Amino acid sequence: MRFAITGAAGMLGQDLEAAARAAGHDAIGFSRAALDITEAGAVADALRDARPDVVVNCAAWTNVDGAEEAEDAALAVNGAGAGNVARAAAACGAWTIHVSSDYVFDGAKRSPYLESDPVGPVSSYGRTKLAGERAVALEAPASHTIVRSSWLFGAGGPCFPATILRLAGERDELKVVDDQVGCPSFTGHLAVSLVDIAAARPVGIVHLAGAGSCSWYEFAREIVASAGVSCEVRPCSTAEMPRPATRPAYSVLRSERGEAVPSLPDWREGLAEYMTLIEEVRA
């Protein structure tokens, strides 16, 4: 297969390009600097010239808090931009894989969210990601897979583990919220599964996130322990550390689509691989 990847300079994009090539496929990566997905004409031209079999849209506005004050700008990327990619992919006969988010849910549920559960985003970011899902389904109705994942982390860019490791090296104590629960997903694992999705091509929405679940506090505690850093991690509530954007209190994702959706390893395995990668970089 020939992959075209938008947002290829990001954490997931980098890992996906590597995973596609490792599996014996051709891969063309478009960074944001090379291709702005809000420019419909440029997207159409780029994908027509690339002649891909599969287009994976990893490009996104990822600043959750920033979207609260700039929802129109976030919507241009996460909503209309996603539609531009799907329209251009369909025009050249390619399958679209669009990466979405657990933030399309309100977090009120206390059992894992399935693909058939009703959506109800509680933030500007979540609304823009939901708009992107709808745009993709509209522009490529019979040739798309929307992959919802969550709490992405990887060695190729800024992420929660990197932030925690930096802060733990600067402080004796950290406070991290323990009343938000989700599924940390290592981009190295997600990328491999996206290659599998490209081969299987299930139509519609699939949930694909790290196995298991934890709070941000539990995730941070595991990160610090894995690094062997002497920093105490203490739990606190979301109310004690307010942010501009509301986060879902519970956004564990699981799939009800059976064999159509590959499963990811446990988030702890992902963290172990992440720690190995960053140690190799530092060495």
Radius of gyration of the chain (CA): 18
Give pLDDT, residue 195: 98
Domain count, the chain: 1
Query: Which CATH number characterizes residue 60's domain?
Result: 3.40.50.720
Residue 155 has pLDDT above 90, yes or no: yes
Residue 281 has pLDDT above 90, yes or no: no
Give pLDDT, residue 89: 98
Residue 95 has pLDDT above 80, yes or no: yes
Range of the domain at 35: 2-158+184-211+252-264
Give pLDDT, residue 279: 86
Pick the catalytic residue from 103, 113, 125, 274: 125
Q: If you average pLDDT over residues 212-236, what whole number do you get?
A: 97
Give pLDDT, residue 192: 98
Q: Please state, in angstroms and rounded to a whole number, the distance separating the CA atoms of residues 238 and 33.
A: 36
Q: What percent of the chain stands above pLDDT 70?
A: 99
Give pLDDT, residue 283: 60
Residue 31 in any domain: the answer is: yes
Q: Please state, in angstroms and rounded to a whole number, the distance separating the CA atoms of residues 190 and 154.
A: 10
Average pLDDT, the chain: 97
Residue 250 bears catalytic tag: no
Q: What percent of the chain stands above pLDDT 90?
A: 96
Q: What is the pLDDT of residues 9-40, one digit of tens each?
A: 999 999 999 999 999 999 999 999 999 999 99
Residue 172 in any domain: the answer is: no
Strands 214-215 and 181-182: antiparallel
Q: If you average pLDDT over residues 219-227, what whole number do you get?
A: 97
Residue 107 in any domain: the answer is: yes
Predicted confidence band of residue 127 (pLDDT cuts 50, 70, 90): very high
Residue 246 in any domain: the answer is: no
- How is the chain classified by DSSP, letter by letter? -EEEEETTTSHHHHHHHHHHHHTT-EEEEE-TTT--TT-HHHHHHHHHHH--SEEEE------TTHHHH-HHHHHIIIIIIHHHHHHHHHHTTPEEEEEEEGGGS-S--SS-B-TTSPP---SHHHHHHHHHHHHHHHHSTTSEEEEEE-SEE-TTS--HHHHHHHHHHH-SEEEEESS-EE--EEHHHHHHHHHHHHHH---EEEE---BS-EEHHHHHHHHHHHHT---EEEEE-GGGS--SSPPPSB--B--SSGGGS--PPBHHHHHHHHHHHHHHHH-
Give pLDDT, residue 261: 87
HEC assignment per residue over 91-115: HCCCEEEEEEEHHHCCCCCCCCECC
Q: What is the pLDDT of residues 201-217, one digit of tens each?
A: 999 999 999 999 999 99
Residue 119 in any domain: the answer is: yes
Predicted confidence band of residue 280 (pLDDT cuts 50, 70, 90): confident
Residue 169 in any domain: the answer is: no
Contacts of 282 (CB under 8 A, 6+ apart): none
Residue 45 in any domain: the answer is: yes
Q: What is the pLDDT of residues 35-93, one digit of tens each?
A: 999 999 999 999 999 999 999 999 999 999 999 999 999 999 999 999 999 999 999 99
Q: If you average pLDDT over residues 277-281, what whole number do you get?
A: 84
Residue 131 in any domain: the answer is: yes
Predicted TM-score of the model (pTM): 0.97
Give pLDDT, residue 282: 67
Give pLDDT, residue 259: 83
Enter the tokens of residue 96: 């679209």
